[in-house]
Structure 1
Amino acid sequence: MTVKIGVIGTGAIGRDHARRIEKVLAGGKITALSDVNMASAEAVKAEIAPDAEIFATGEELIASANVDAVLVCSWGQTHEQYVLAAIAAGKPCFCEKPLATTADGAKRIVDAEVAAGKRLVQVGFMRRYDAGYVALKSAVESHTGAPIMVHAAHRNPRVGNNYVTPMAIHDTLIHEIDVFRWLLDDDYTEARVTFPRKCARSHEKLRDPQIVTLKTAKGVVIDTEIFVNCHYGYDIQCEVVGEDGIAKLPEPMAIQMRLGAKLQNEILVDWKDRFVGAYDVELQDFLQAAARGTASGPTSWDGYMAAVTSDACVKAQECEGEAVAITYPARPALYA
């Protein structure tokens, strides 16, 4: 079966996902496009998906009989309305993060999916599909013993002046928030944020770097450095300290050179290059599930849990060094 896919939002990530489905992956075809910038949708049609119909609104795209499943890649503020529309239409939906811009919005999606009675939503937390993280999870579960601590870092070479302090949580740490829950099979109970000296390359509306400490229900302590103006490259680090040993996320494959009296290898500068393989695997997973009329992978509940945790971390930014409690309602049986 070829799944007919409608893409809402044809900016950078929507365009790239359309290319994957049309040019790289099996089992899907782009049949519909929608974007507030009509020229963007027309460009994707001309260059990637010539058979796609362009719709004026995301709701019209979702309602189309020529759309079996939906990719929501639009501006974050619109995600909730489109995901809810897809659930109401009974169509599988892949939603890029965030699932919603508020925890309440994410909970409304959870409630709608539970009412529908089956999984229809996959959230775009691609790190769960990264080969390095998959290997790390295997090592943690099989070799290094019960986790005690996690040391992590999320570094970007630079950000623009529109990137402000809370975005370090909602736009950057959000990936660690999800992947650590999956990696440890655990939930969070509290968050703290500490700010070192502000780096010279930051700006007046951004306190950078910052260190977020999360504690889990099983007692694991996780410290994550967020440094979005590190200058030298895009660098993701994760080390899990267990009862019997330490497991570390492998570095991306790179050629090591002995050159000019130096032992060296390149460091990536673009996040899309770091996780290109993971994007391919996660969307193939979505296509396979959508062909069965359902969804797999990260759930709406995972998106909701990430939103609740993110809100707590932002609150912790506002009371530096103090613990902010994180509480959740009971997990619905649909996501057991």
Structure 2
Amino acid sequence: MTSDLRIGIIGVGAMGADHAERVARRTSGARLVAVSDPDAARATALATALDGVQVIGDPLQLIAEVDAVIIASPGFAHAEQLMACLEHGKPVLCEKPLTMDAESALRVVEAEHKTGRSLIQVGFMRRFDPEYAALKQLLDSGDLGRTLLLHNVHRNKTVAETFRSEMIVRDSLVHEVDVARWLFDDEIARITVHAPKPTSLVGEGVLDPQLAIFEMAGGAIADVEVFVNFQVGYEVRCEAVAEKGSATIGLGVDVLTRQAGHWGGAVPDDFRVRFGPAYDIEVQRWVNAAASGGIDGPTAWDGYAAAAVCTAGVQSLTEGRPVEVELARRSEVLG
């Protein structure tokens, strides 16, 4: 394409509004032309603040009128919107989760495959974070030998009262699901989600924090602590333990200070501070690839595999036992 990619964004809550600012002000080769959100006032306020952006009430109409789409709507709406993108042949960057369960995610994968094109990129932005990218490069180099274990911490300062136990799995833990699959270059065969006595700061029935154990098909193991009402701030760490050493990211050592008898650094309030550069890189690379008719990041299959693990994870959390991950054979689905 010789002109800017005309982008529409579906869903302009915190994530969608952040993407709108990014596309409008920091992404080359792209132009934000439309937004859609059930909250018309919110969509109008955002469009008014950005030049040349119109509000389209029907998200399916938006898909038909733009060159490419960013989906930042709630997960339950993704399946229909993704299918519409495929029907219109529109490149789409879909925030996680791909869909709400493994079955619908697999249908999306199959529908994309029938188009003969790679149109869907899933918003697992940690793959674009410079620290995660450096860790991946180090592990792939073999300098540390075979990677044996992965330790992950994923903490949010607070979340909305509507954020229930299963959402901690589908909307938070899902990031570490993709990280484990990516860093190990392997599938998760079994997941166990444990829940200790919850923090007193959540509503009745909410299990927070949670501790998940991933058993990889190749024999490695990853653990994840997810705590979405941590109160302190947004904290994401990852340590890979290998045969000849270990590597840790997310320590924030570049802002470490010593002053007045104390040492430490800032803990950001939310994901937009910690992963801002990763989102910028992700969207720019997606735009570049979409303009050339492809994608440059996690695929629909990656979104499906993560959904399959999270479906098993919710079952494990509910039943209090390990659950095998049921994953379709990739060769049978994609040929």
1:92 maps onto 2:91 in alignment: yes
Amino acid at match of 2:103: D
> 1:304 matched to which residue of 2?
304
CA distance in 2, matches of 1:27, 1:264: 40
Whether the 8 Å contact between 1:5 and 1:68 is mirrored in structure 2 is yes
Shift of 1:297: 0.6
Shift of 1:211: 1.0
> 1:115 matched to which residue of 2?
114
Amino acid at match of 1:97: K
1:53 maps onto 2:54 in alignment: yes
Secondary structure at the counterpart of residue 268 of structure 1: coil
Whether the 8 Å contact between 2:236 and 2:250 is mirrored in structure 1 is no
Amino acid at match of 1:53: Q
Secondary structure at the counterpart of residue 16 of structure 1: helix
User: 1:230-309 alignment to 2 at 5 Å?
Assistant: 230-252=230-252, 254-309=254-309
CA deviations 1:81-133 (Å, max 9, x no partner) are 11111111111111111111121111111011100001001111111100110
CA RMSD between the two structures: 1.7
Aligned pair partner of 2:8 in 6, 9, 13: 6
Shift of 1:256: 2.6
CA distance in 2, matches of 1:9, 1:95: 11
Structure 1 runs of 4+ with >3 Å offset: 332-336
CA deviations 1:278-302 (Å, max 9, x no partner) are 0000000110011112222111101
Whether the 8 Å contact between 1:114 and 1:332 is mirrored in structure 2 is no
CA deviations 1:31-69 (Å, max 9, x no partner) are 222222222222122112x212322201111112xx111
> 1:40 matched to which residue of 2?
42
State TM-score, norm by structure 2. Answer: 0.94
Secondary structure at the counterpart of residue 241 of structure 2: strand
Which stretches in structure 1 are left out of the alignment for 5+ residues?
none
CA distance in 1, matches of 2:208, 2:333: 39
CA distance in 2, matches of 1:194, 1:83: 32
Secondary structure at the counterpart of residue 281 of structure 2: helix
User: 1:18-33 alignment to 2 at 5 Å?
Assistant: 18-33=20-35
> 2:180 matched to which residue of 1?
180
Amino acid at match of 2:151: H
Whether the 8 Å contact between 1:117 and 1:334 is mirrored in structure 2 is no
CA distance in 2, matches of 1:277, 1:197: 36
Shift of 1:194: 2.0
CA distance in 2, matches of 1:195, 1:12: 28
Which stretches in structure 2 are left out of the alignment for 5+ residues?
none
211-220 or 31-40: which moved more?
A: 31-40
Secondary structure at the counterpart of residue 139 of structure 2: helix
Whether the 8 Å contact between 1:252 and 1:274 is mirrored in structure 2 is no
CA distance in 1, matches of 2:112, 2:331: 10
CA distance in 1, matches of 2:94, 2:309: 19
Whether the 8 Å contact between 1:254 and 1:266 is mirrored in structure 2 is no
> 1:63 matched to which residue of 2?
64
Amino acid at match of 2:226: I
Q: How has the CA–CA distance of structure 1 residues 56 and 293 changed in structure 2, closer, same or farther, with 3 Å as cutoff?
A: same
Instruction: Tell me the matched-pair count.
Output: 332
User: 1:57-206 alignment to 2 at 5 Å?
Assistant: 57-64=58-65, 67-142=66-141, 143-206=143-206
CA deviations 1:121-159 (Å, max 9, x no partner) are 111111110011011111212221111111111112223
Q: How has the CA–CA distance of structure 1 residues 334 and 275 changed in structure 2, closer, same or farther, with 3 Å as cutoff?
A: farther
Identity of aligned residues (%): 37
Shift of 1:70: 1.0
Amino acid at match of 2:36: S
CA distance in 2, matches of 1:5, 1:333: 34
User: 1:207-226 alignment to 2 at 5 Å?
Assistant: 207-226=207-226
Whether the 8 Å contact between 1:103 and 1:311 is mirrored in structure 2 is yes
Shift of 1:11: 1.9
1:323 maps onto 2:325 in alignment: no
Secondary structure at the counterpart of residue 166 of structure 1: helix
Amino acid at match of 2:27: L
